[in-house]
């Protein structure tokens, strides 16, 4: 209690900084004022106080998930690092104010999906803003389950809670400021950001922080883990260098620095890149966490310039296109592997399932790629030329791999029509099959018809549903007649 009184008296946060209520009110007003180009979403509720975690998307047709590169700006993993909130709110205002007159801003809004999560750790932020503890870092997780918020024992460091080499980062001690939590993604806040990131396949992310002490005005990117650099290091660093040069420091005599982050652990940037292949930059804003109110607008304005570069960069230097099934034309989510820039210990970047869209940022040069998906023949494309001004665009067709089943001679099984689009009549010219089984092109079991059904009429009408009576997907299927050791296989194509 003594601590509470002393800090409250010694330090009050400048009114220039947003409270939670002000963030909520402003985002809500903005969503009402710009209903066509903003989409306000609650992506979860905070762990302890159940406050909504807001995400605001700015884009044309904002309520639709369009086939456009998505970029995420997130702030306040750490409660006291409140400058990032201001930068996000400032950029939201700036984009919306300028979109009517500024053709470049309009271009971004029409061709990007720009997402902001301005206040991830609203619980911890409340601890700071109410003056209970103005250097509070974590959320308010009740680690000792006593129903009371103890500043000496409670809270999880959200930026150590992600599922990427989780045990190597932070601390296992709940009283530590760096407590990584009881499990990966144990906190509502990190789960909310995880789910948003998985859903939107972001090309880039900036996560805003500030250093209480030590080096500020730095951009950390993944990673230098004792000499182990990630496969995209070269591209990530090049972009970090450009980004950092665009943000002038508080003194006005230099720009931010770009450095590979030393941690190879459950931090946001490592998980974002290491698991989802999102190029993620941790911007340590300014030289300390809470600057005087008069400095805030200027800090935001200088950071805005760098942040917007990522909106530009998504249409420069890289490869993009859509991946389709060569038979059905359906978009598919497949892995894009760039030769020499691939590490088998990390998941590869995938095209999104909805549009089959891939977007892979690269530096100017020639590249060989490989496109993979289980059940499909791997596709190799060589000598793709990438410039540093525009994206190299091409679509990719993947062919379903034909599963090889043992085939015996004989003509005892026929399928009609083939291709089929509604029902398939499976006829047998001898009543010797104990069962008919259907498999898809990957060899996965789909459906089975047993002896009595077949015996009745010498044929089975298959309504193209699976075991659970769901209509099957378009593709190649195999019908296998079983008669003791003897198997007879026929192929059928199903198109809708």
Q: Which residues bind Zn ion (CB under 5 A)?
A: 78, 81, 209
Q: Closest distance between Zn ion and the C-beta of residue 234, in Å? A: 26
Residues in CB range of 100: below 8 A, 6 or more apart: 106
Q: Least distance from C-beta 57 to Zn ion, angstroms?
A: 24
CB closer to Zn ion, 282 vs 460: 282
| Minimum distance from residue 208 beta carbon to Zn ion (Å) | 8
CB of 267 to Zn ion, least distance (A): 9
CB of 304 to Zn ion, least distance (A): 20
CA nearest to 39, candidates 75, 70, 84, 81: 70
b/e burial code for range 175-186 (CB count within 10 A of at least 16 → b): eebebbbeebbe
Min separation Cβ 209 and Zn ion, Å:
3
Q: Between the CA of residue 454 and those of 61, 85, 408, 429, what are the distances in Å?
A: 53, 67, 20, 11
Q: Which is nearer to Zn ion, 164 or 494 (CB)?
A: 164
Rg (CA), the chain: 28
Residues 353-369: b if buried by 16+ CB within 10 A, e if exposed: eebbbbbbbbbeeebeb
To the nearest whole angstrom, how small is the minimum distance from the Cβ of residue 258 to Zn ion?
Answer: 17
Q: Which is nearer to Zn ion, 212 or 379 (CB)?
A: 212
Inter-axis angle of helices 233-245 and 293-313, to 10 degrees? 140
* Of the candidates 40, 127, 118, the residue with the CA atom closest to the CA atom of residue 84: 118
Least distance CB 81 / Zn ion (angstroms): 5
Q: Which of residues 38 and 270 has its CB atom nearest to Zn ion in the complex?
A: 270
From the CB of 72, what's the least distance to Zn ion, in Å?
A: 17
Q: Which is nearer to Zn ion, 281 or 433 (CB)?
A: 281
Cβ–Cβ under 8 Å, residues 283 and 305: no
Q: Return the number of the residue (73 or 478) whose C-beta is nearest Zn ion.
A: 73
C-beta closer to Zn ion: residue 65 or 81: 81
Task: Quote the CA–CA distance of 294 and 331 in Å, as a whole number.
Answer: 51
**Chain center to CA of 288:** 29
Q: Give whichever of 81 and 238 is closer to Zn ion, judged by the CB atom.
A: 81
Which C-beta is closer to Zn ion: that of 57 or that of 78?
Answer: 78
For the CB of residue 328, give the shortest distance to Zn ion in the complex, in Å: 47
Bridge partners of 52?
Answer: 45
Q: Is the separation of the CB atoms in 299 and 285 below 8 Å?
A: yes
Q: Facing residues of 255 across strands?
A: 248
Q: Crossing angle for the helix pair 122-129 and 20-33, nearest 10 degrees? A: 120
State the burial class of residue 487 (Cβ atoms within 10 Å of its Cβ: 0-12, 13-18, 19+): middle
**CB 137 → Zn ion: shortest distance, Å?**
7
Q: Which residue is nearest to Zn ion (CB)?
A: 209
Closer Cβ to Zn ion, 38 or 161, answer by number: 161
How far is it, in rounded angstroms, from Cα 88 to Cα 115?
Answer: 10
Of 17 and 367, the one with the shorter C-beta distance to Zn ion is 17
Q: How far apart are the two ends of the chain, measured CA to CA in Å?
A: 69
- Report the residue number, 147 or 214, with the smaller CB distance to Zn ion: 214
To the nearest whole angstrom, how small is the minimum distance from the Cβ of residue 126 to Zn ion?
17
Q: Give DSSP secondary structure letters for 120-162.
A: S-HHHHHHHHTTS-TT--S----TT-SSS--TTT----GGG-S
Return d(Cα 64, Cα 184) in angstroms, integer: 31
Total residue length of the chain? 496
């Amino acid at each position: 209690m003594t601590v509470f009184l002393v800090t409250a008296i010694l330090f009050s946060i400048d009114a220039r900084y947003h409270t939670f209520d002000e963030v909520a009110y402003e985002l809500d007003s903005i969503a009402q004022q710009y209903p066509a180009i903003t989409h306000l979403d609650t992506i979860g509720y905070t762990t302890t106080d159940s406050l909504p975690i807001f995400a605001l998307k700015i884009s044309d047709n904002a309520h639709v998930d369009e086939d456009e590169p998505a970029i995420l700006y997130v702030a306040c993993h750490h409660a006291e690092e409140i400058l990032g909130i201001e930068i996000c709110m400032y950029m939201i205002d700036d984009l919306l104010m300028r979109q009517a007159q500024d053709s470049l801003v309009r271009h971004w809004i029409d061709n990007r999906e720009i997402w902001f999560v301005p206040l991830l750790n609203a619980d911890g932020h409340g601890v700071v803003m109410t003056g209970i503890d103005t250097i509070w870092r974590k959320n308010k997780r009740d680690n000792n389950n006593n129903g009371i918020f103890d500043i000496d024992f409670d809270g999880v460091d959200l930026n150590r809670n992600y599922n990427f080499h989780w045990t190597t980062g932070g601390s296992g001690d709940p009283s530590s400021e760096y407590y990584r939590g009881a499990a990966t993604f144990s906190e509502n806040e990190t789960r909310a950001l995880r789910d948003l990131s998985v859903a939107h396949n972001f090309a880039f992310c900036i996560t805003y922080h500030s250093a209480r002490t030590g080096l500020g005005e730095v951009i950390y990117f993944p990673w230098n883990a004792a000499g182990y650099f990630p496969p995209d290091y070269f591209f990530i660093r090049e972009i970090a260098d450009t980004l950092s040069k665009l943000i002038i420091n508080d003194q006005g005599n230099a720009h931010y620095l770009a450095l590979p982050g030393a941690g190879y652990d459950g931090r946001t940037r490592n998980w974002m890149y290491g698991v989802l292949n999102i190029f993620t930059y941790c911007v340590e804003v300014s030289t300390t966490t809470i600057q005087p109110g008069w400095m805030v607008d200027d800090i935001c304005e200088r950071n805005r310039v760098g942040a917007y570069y990522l909106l530009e960069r998504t249409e420069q230097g890289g490869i993009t296109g859509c991946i389709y099934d060569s038979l059905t034309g359906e978009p598919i989510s497949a892995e894009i592997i760039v030769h020499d820039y691939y590490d088998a210990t990390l998941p590869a970047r995938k095209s999104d399932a909805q549009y089959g869209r891939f977007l892979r940022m690269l530096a100017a040069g020639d590249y060989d790629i490989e496109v993979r998906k289980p059940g499909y023949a791997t596709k190799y494309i060589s000598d793709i030329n990438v410039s540093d001004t525009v994206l190299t665009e091409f679509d990719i067709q993947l062919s379903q791999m034909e599963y090889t089943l043992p085939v015996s001679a004989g003509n005892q099984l026929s399928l009609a029509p083939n291709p089929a689009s509604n029902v398939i009549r499976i006829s047998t010219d001898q009543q010797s099959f104990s069962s008919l089984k259907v498999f898809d092109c990957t060899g996965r079991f789909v459906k089975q018809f047993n002896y009595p059904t077949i015996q009745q009429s010498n044929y089975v009408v298959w309504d193209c549903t699976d075991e659970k009576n769901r209509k099957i997907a378009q593709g190649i299927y195999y019908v296998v007649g079983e008669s003791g050791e003897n198997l007879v296989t026929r192929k059928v194509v199903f198109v809708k």
